[in-house]
Amino acid sequence: MKLDGLDHVAITVRDPLNSMAWYQDVLGLERRFEEVWADYPIVMLAGESGVAIFPATSSEPDTVSDKQNTITMRHFAFRVDRENFKRAKERMRWSGVEFTEDDHGVSHSIYIRDPDGHEIEITTYEV
């Protein structure tokens, strides 16, 4: 078997329309398949991969206090080239989105959080 790549990550959010707007405004993802699926799920893609947004079944979903020691998704990452990595940092600064930056040796990354606290990495291997 040979996989082509990651298609999407499915996340649960409190307000799907708010999250859709955030992924569109902050990351520039495009909504797809609305004509087939309407508002469930909301699929936001960058090229051929992205995020499928599902509504939480409760208005107060449980949160995990120690995510480092719980079996859960830690973050998901989008890969960019060096020029778009610089643009991503500029976009976050311009948008007022807080981020942290990390040098992993083989890659450089910034980390942001969406409105529900999901951690998103934007990374480049062009160091």
pLDDT, tens digit (0-9, with 9 covering 90-100), for 41-90: 999 999 999 999 999 876 565 665 665 566 678 899 999 999 999 999 99
- What pTM, to 2 d.p., does this model score? 0.89
pLDDT in tens, 89-101: 999 999 999 999 9
Contacts of 71 by beta carbon, 8 Å cutoff, 6+ apart:
none
What pLDDT does residue 20 have?
97
d(CA 90, CA 92): 5
Average pLDDT, integer, range 89-117: 97
Sketch out the chain's domains with CATH numbers: 7-58 (3.10.180.10), 75-127 (3.10.180.10)
> Residue 3: pLDDT band by 50, 70, 90 thresholds?
confident
What pLDDT does residue 110 have?
98
The pairs formed by 8-11 with CB atoms below 8 angstroms and a separation of 24 or more are 8/43, 8/45, 8/49, 8/50, 8/51, 8/52, 9/50, 9/51, 9/52, 9/73, 9/76, 10/41, 10/51, 10/52, 10/54, 11/51, 11/52, 11/53, 11/54, 11/114, 11/116, 11/118
